[in-house]
Chain A
Amino acid sequence: MLRIDCPCCGPRDHDEFRYGGDASIIRPAHDDPDFEAWYRYVFVRRNPAGSHREHWQHVLGCRQWLIVERDTRTHSIASVALARKPAPRKSAQ
């Protein structure tokens, strides 16, 4: 199990969460008509083997969307923060 240290609820198994994918791609403004921006947002992924900033939602807990920094090779988690607050918080370990 990935153990995600939810800022609201504490460390929980990842199956309490919903995965939301790459958090480093910025969603264009809702009224941005730029096709290229939307195409890249929806389809293009850097997909790194290494550190990955990603969204997770604590659906079976506080329902907050989080930004988790995780290594895709080892699954080790470097930080977890609320998506609403951009500055990441280093996790306890």
Chain B
Amino acid sequence: MNSNSKRLAKGGRIDRGRPLEFSFDGSKLAGFQGDTLASALLANGVSLVGRSFKYHRPRGIFSAGAEEPNALVTLGTGGRREPNLPATMLELGDGMIAESQNRWPSLAFDLQSVNGLFAPFLSAGFYYKTFMGPTRRAWMFYEHFIRRAAGLGKAGMEPDPDRYELRHAFADVAIVGGGPAGLSAARAAANAGARVALIEQDFRFGGQLLSERPGSEANAWLEALGIELRGLGNVDLMARTTAVGIYDGQVLGLVERRDHAQASGRVRQAFTILRAGAIVFAPGAIERPLVFSNNDRPGVMLASAVRTYVNRFAVLPGRRAVVTTTNDGAWRTAFDLAAAGAQVTVADLRATLAPALQAEALRLGIAVRPGTHIADLRGGRALNAARLAGSGAETEVDCDLVCVSGGWSPTVHLTSHLGVKPVYREDIDGFAPGPLAGGQFGAGSVVGGYTTAEAIETGHRAGIEAAAYCGKTKPVPAALQFQSTDLPAAAFRGVPPARGKAFVDFQMDVTTGDIALAHREGYQSVEHLKRYTTLGMGTDQGKTSNFPALSAMAALRGATIPETGTTTFRPPYTPVAIGALAGRAVGHHLKPTRRTPMHDWHIANGADMLEVGLWMRPYFYRGAGRDVNEAYVAEMRFVREAAGLMDISTLGKIDVQGPDAATLFDRVYANGFVKLPVGRARYGVMLRDDGVVLDDGTTTRLGEHRFFMTTSTAKAANVLSRLEFLLDTAWPDLRVAVTSVTDEWAAMSVAGPRSREVLAAAFPTLDVSNEALPHMGLIGGEFDGRALRVIRLSYSGERAYEVYVGASAGEAAWRRLIEAGQPFGLRPYGVEALGALRVEKGHVAGPEIDGRTTLDDLGLGRMVGKRSGFVGDVLRRRPALAEQDRQRLVGLTCVEADARLSGGAVLFKQGETLKGHGCGRITSVTYSPTLGAYVGLALLAGDVAMGDEVVAVHMMKNEAVRARVVSPVFLDPQGERLHG
């Protein structure tokens, strides 16, 4: 193990007292607390860390931040496997196991690097022009291999064992970026009295100041500010937290990484929804690379990143360095490299250089080549030499490190997420945020403040303004400045001529040649350029490639940068684990589970439960049969022959009160309600505004001005909202209040010939005689100190009662009924039997009320008669809804004994070719124990007569069954069982 061969003897913001072990591709390596994985790899002399997407070219660490295009690794195994993580963003942890990716069999020897040999034919978009033959499906053959070659890391296929958390947070001022501008803004806003959230993606605050030399004034400033901010008490210092997106209403999405303290059962990442009064954007800037031949070799790094590695991490990435730049700023990298002991050559593209720079270079023994660019690099998995060209003769300089700087691009991602396009600023030769919305402020690089002094000053002002926007205006002490050693970053845009492969987008392997090809073929809009070449579509989303690419396209088109424009910046700023977005809403917590008051009883008594929307309902009881098919038939028998008990608590229940309540029902139900007497219930059907049936249910008049309404389980919320809508917006003159009481009442249905006896035994104080409680009648009472309502309603066609009792007494009432009912043969039944009982009676439910059927389709037209003025009345008269041959509700029985009907079968007339949509469909089917045969409900074209034969075709079951059209009411058509 060649441990820390490139680590400087002293300095750096690392804790040398806390060594950490980690491994990369199986080699055991060591680093220190305070390292990133990237800095630790560099310290250990690891220069080759990845392979590119298309040509599998060897790649090294390029940056020290979120813009990293090359150094992507996979961490973890099994369910914890996580691919495509930039090593530059990973805080080194003890025992970290990292693997390189997109290579086989190994990083050093990658077979797919042969792709490079075919590069002349793998130009941008080549796949649109070939892989078309010989057959129509040929593409799928080629695609198989292309897919295997594509992709970067490999994701785990097991469930993620870790936990994520969602936080809801509020702040007066949210500040994105904890560099000098953000820190200064936080200080100002907090002193003004604002509650501040300071968001920093790094595990340390300070931004570029962290890359200043040890012992510089920047350190003292950072320390002083840290102490002050912590002391203020109203600043939430959120390190390791990335503002990944901004949404409407000043809402920021933040991802906090807690992986560094990973322990089983702890939260790995937290997602925060931060609602801010005002936002200060101080995200800094990203350095631009230079584009030249073989500029992607391992050992080529951004100049600022090299400075970070030298000063912050005490790593010297190379001993013989060439710094190539278009601006003064990168010279500081040359100076710091030289000070750390490296041999340095500066190749500056500008012909004229500031004398002060040259003097300092001379002092440090740095070779200076003005008007010079790098023409090419030699080396494979590591660098050997750079060929310099330009003003002087072409020379070759031995080197193992090349530092590049093409100037800087302000980080305009977040400010663009709300659709505000960035605008080009000539003075910084870059894009700055477009006009910010009210309550949003910029600071530092995004407002052109590249120097530390400007960052501190603009941050200070933005902090004060943001606080004032939130009404916090306490006096603020002057900005805290210090003497920094900045050099101007403003760049001259130099484009060195390239002969070989010169990369613009490293990760996606997009070269200047690809851009020229896109231009030649007319893919000249930046969006076409992106989509045709895949430029900027990697995990880094083109953070370093965007500007070089669009300036290359601008040059080819002879257009200006603003004319060329940028592609759209979209959230997230850096990739976000989907688990972090979901938080705790995983597995069983995806949606709330609604349980009725009798739920525990059902479970304890052998119920097989079924999800119905969010509700859990008994499907069938295992006591009645081994499986659902056996059980539901047995349960139907109890109900038809003795008595059954069904939990119907899931029905929507609405309490309606007010002098105009009857009028409300008269309008929202298609059938009349004004004349409903007190103490009586009525079945009602509602239409949508377009005249199609919406829902059905019963409503009981409890008093002159009070009603109790039930809806189907599925439509409960919608019906309530609809009533509220009509009362609030259309009929504010109606004096009615509606309240959902679904959860307040437990509800159960006692059904069957012996139901009255059961009820009388269970509630002996109630008079349940036919005189006191006739069909559709109501009586009230009390049970266990809770209100009790018994309404005589039947869904099954038997004499039946719906018992409503305060939810907390629900289970007790249920038990009472079960016990009292035992002598009469009462048994519980589930939703499958309930559905079957209603089919026998021809009652419509969800499968028939399918959102396309009308009152007449469902045989309910008679209920309405000549009424008008109810919701949906006018549009139900539209011609196509009133046609005679529309599909109508009918009953079906099998023509042949022993045959069975299947739900979902398509119906054809006799002799009709079995093709197309047929003349109807079977909506619901059940075995009828009473009839000893299968019966079904169907929607069937109106020109098929009763008694006719149809063919029910179920392709999935390979069935064609002869069926006879009959009345949908299979049992007790006169309704005699209900009465008496």
Task: Decide if A and B touch, CB cutoff 8 A.
Answer: yes
Query: Which A residues have a C-beta under 8 Å from some C-beta of B?
Result: 1-3, 11, 13, 18, 20, 23, 27-28, 30-35, 38-39, 41-43, 55, 57, 59, 63-65, 74-76, 82-84, 93
A31 touches B721 (CB 8 A): no
Query: Does B630 sit at the interface, judged by CB under 8 A?
Result: no
Pick from B437, B438, B729: contact of A83, CB under 8 Å: B729
Residue of B nearest to A1 (CB): B251
B875 touches A38 (CB 8 A): yes
User: For the complex, would chain A's binding face be called helix, strand, loop or mixed by DSSP majority?
Assistant: loop
Residue of A nearest to B668 (CB): A30
Q: B607: shortest Cβ distance to chain A, in Å? A: 31
User: What CA separation (Å) do A33 and B867 show in the bound complex?
Assistant: 12
Contact flag A31-B690 (CB < 8 Å), given A38-B875, A65-B729, A74-B419: no
User: What CA separation (Å) do A32 and B868 show in the bound complex?
Assistant: 9
A30 touches B667 (CB 8 A): yes
Query: Which B residues are CB-close (under 8 A) to A30?
Result: 667, 730-731, 869-871
User: What CA separation (Å) do A43 and B689 show in the bound complex?
Assistant: 10
Q: B798: shortest Cβ distance to chain A, in Å? A: 37
Q: List 16 A-B contacts (CB under 8 A).
A: A2-B249, A3-B248, A27-B729, A30-B667, A30-B730, A30-B871, A32-B874, A35-B874, A38-B689, A39-B875, A42-B689, A42-B875, A57-B721, A74-B419, A75-B248, A93-B438
Question: What number of B residues sit within 8 Å (CB to CB) of A?
Answer: 31
Query: Which B residues are CB-close (under 8 A) to A27?
Result: 729-730
Contact flag A65-B725 (CB < 8 Å), given A33-B874, A35-B874, A42-B690: yes
User: What CA separation (Å) do A3 and B276 show in the bound complex?
Assistant: 11
B865-903: which have CB < 8 Å to A?
A: 868-871, 874-875, 877
Query: Which B residues are CB-close (under 8 A) to A64?
Result: 728
Pick from B248, B732, B874: contact of A34, CB under 8 Å: B874
Pick from B728, B868, B874: contact of A84, CB under 8 Å: B728
Query: Does B564 sit at the interface, judged by CB under 8 A?
Result: no
Query: Does B247 sit at the interface, judged by CB under 8 A?
Result: yes
Query: Does B94 sit at the interface, judged by CB under 8 A?
Result: no
B275 touches A31 (CB 8 A): no
Query: Which B residues are CB-close (under 8 A) to A59?
Result: 717, 721
User: What CA separation (Å) do A92 and B729 show in the bound complex?
Assistant: 24
Residue of B nearest to A43 (CB): B690
Q: Which of B419, B438, B729, B732 has the most CB of A within 10 A?
A: B729
Pick from A3, A35, A76, A83: contact of B275, CB under 8 Å: A3
Residue of B nearest to A26 (CB): B730
Pick from A1, A42, A43, A93: contact of B248, CB under 8 Å: A1
Pick from A2, A20, A41: contact of B689, CB under 8 Å: A41
Query: Which B residues are CB-close (under 8 A) to A41?
Result: 689
Residue of B nearest to A74 (CB): B419
Query: Does B21 sit at the interface, judged by CB under 8 A?
Result: no
Q: A2: shortest Cβ distance to chain B, in Å? A: 5
Residue of A nearest to B437 (CB): A76
Query: Does B273 sit at the interface, judged by CB under 8 A?
Result: yes
User: What CA separation (Å) do A28 and B869 show in the bound complex?
Assistant: 11
Residue of B nearest to A34 (CB): B874
User: What CA separation (Å) do A39 and B877 show in the bound complex?
Assistant: 11
Residue of A nearest to B729 (CB): A83
A33 touches B689 (CB 8 A): no
Q: A10: shortest Cβ distance to chain B, in Å? A: 12
Pick from B248, B419, B874: contact of A38, CB under 8 Å: B874
Q: Which of A1, A28, A32, A76 has the most CB of B within 10 A?
A: A1
Query: Does B724 sit at the interface, judged by CB under 8 A?
Result: yes
A31 touches B724 (CB 8 A): no
User: What CA separation (Å) do A63 and B437 show in the bound complex?
Assistant: 30
Query: Which A residues are CB-close (under 8 A) to B438?
Result: 93
A3 touches B874 (CB 8 A): no
Query: Does B567 sit at the interface, judged by CB under 8 A?
Result: no
User: What CA separation (Å) do A39 and B275 show in the bound complex?
Assistant: 41
B249 touches A31 (CB 8 A): no
Q: A50: shortest Cβ distance to chain B, in Å? A: 14
User: What CA separation (Å) do A23 and B731 show in the bound complex?
Assistant: 14
B726-742: which have CB < 8 Å to A?
A: 728-732
Pick from A3, A55, A63, A65: contact of B250, CB under 8 Å: A3
User: What CA separation (Å) do A51 and B876 show in the bound complex?
Assistant: 33
Residue of B nearest to A39 (CB): B875
A55 touches B689 (CB 8 A): no
Q: A3: shortest Cβ distance to chain B, in Å? A: 3
Q: B437: shortest Cβ distance to chain A, in Å? A: 7
User: What CA separation (Å) do A84 and B733 show in the bound complex?
Assistant: 10
Residue of A nearest to B438 (CB): A93
Q: A11: shortest Cβ distance to chain B, in Å? A: 8
Q: Which of B689, B868, B874 has the most CB of A within 10 A?
A: B874
B731 touches A20 (CB 8 A): no
Q: A82: shortest Cβ distance to chain B, in Å? A: 8
User: What CA separation (Å) do A65 and B690 show in the bound complex?
Assistant: 22
Query: Which A residues are CB-close (under 8 A) to B874?
Result: 28, 32-35, 38
Encoded as 1 (CB less than 8 Å from any A CB) or 0, chain B from 241 to 258 comes to 000000111110000000
Pick from A1, A28, A34, A57: contact of B249, CB under 8 Å: A1
Given contacts A3-B275, A34-B874, A42-B690, 9 further A-B contacts (CB under 8 A): A1-B247, A13-B275, A35-B875, A55-B729, A65-B729, A83-B728, A84-B728, A84-B729, A93-B438
Query: Which B residues are CB-close (under 8 A) to A75?
Result: 248
B690 touches A20 (CB 8 A): no
Query: Which A residues are CB-close (under 8 A) to B667?
Result: 30
Q: Which of B247, B438, B728, B877 has the most CB of A within 10 A?
A: B728
Q: A83: shortest Cβ distance to chain B, in Å? A: 5
3 closest A-B pairs by CB: A3-B249, A31-B869, A65-B728
Query: Which A residues are CB-close (under 8 A) to B868?
Result: 31, 33
B232-278: which have CB < 8 Å to A?
A: 247-251, 273, 275
Pick from A13, A35, A74: contact of B877, CB under 8 Å: A35
B367-412: which have CB < 8 Å to A?
A: none
Residue of A nearest to B168 (CB): A13
Query: Which B residues are CB-close (under 8 A) to A65?
Result: 724-725, 728-729
Q: A41: shortest Cβ distance to chain B, in Å? A: 7
Contact flag A57-B875 (CB < 8 Å), given A2-B248, A30-B869: no
Q: B330: shortest Cβ distance to chain A, in Å? A: 40
Pick from A1, A31, A35, A39: contact of B273, CB under 8 Å: A1
Q: B635: shortest Cβ distance to chain A, in Å? A: 37
User: What CA separation (Å) do A84 and B731 show in the bound complex?
Assistant: 9
User: What CA separation (Å) do A76 and B419 show in the bound complex?
Assistant: 12
Encoded as 1 (CB less than 8 Å from any A CB) or 0, chain B from 678 to 694 comes to 00000000000110000
Residue of B nearest to A70 (CB): B248
Residue of A nearest to B870 (CB): A30
Query: Which A residues are CB-close (under 8 A) to B728?
Result: 57, 64-65, 82-84
Query: Which A residues are CB-close (under 8 A) to B729?
Result: 20, 23, 27, 55, 65, 83-84
Q: B796: shortest Cβ distance to chain A, in Å? A: 34
User: What CA separation (Å) do A63 and B690 show in the bound complex?
Assistant: 25
User: What CA separation (Å) do A53 and B418 show in the bound complex?
Assistant: 21
User: What CA separation (Å) do A43 and B875 show in the bound complex?
Assistant: 11
Query: Which A residues are CB-close (under 8 A) to B725?
Result: 20, 55, 57, 65
User: What CA separation (Å) do A93 and B278 show in the bound complex?
Assistant: 12
Query: Which A residues are CB-close (under 8 A) to B418?
Result: 74
Residue of A nearest to B663 (CB): A30
User: What CA separation (Å) do A2 and B250 show in the bound complex?
Assistant: 9
Query: Which B residues are CB-close (under 8 A) to A38?
Result: 689, 874-875
Query: Which A residues are CB-close (under 8 A) to B732?
Result: 84
User: What CA separation (Å) do A65 and B731 show in the bound complex?
Assistant: 13
User: What CA separation (Å) do A74 and B860 show in the bound complex?
Assistant: 47
Q: A25: shortest Cβ distance to chain B, in Å? A: 11
A63 touches B724 (CB 8 A): yes
B658-675: which have CB < 8 Å to A?
A: 667
Query: Which B residues are CB-close (under 8 A) to A57?
Result: 721, 724-725, 728
Residue of B nearest to A5 (CB): B249
Query: Which A residues are CB-close (under 8 A) to B871?
Result: 30
A18 touches B721 (CB 8 A): yes
Q: B736: shortest Cβ distance to chain A, in Å? A: 13
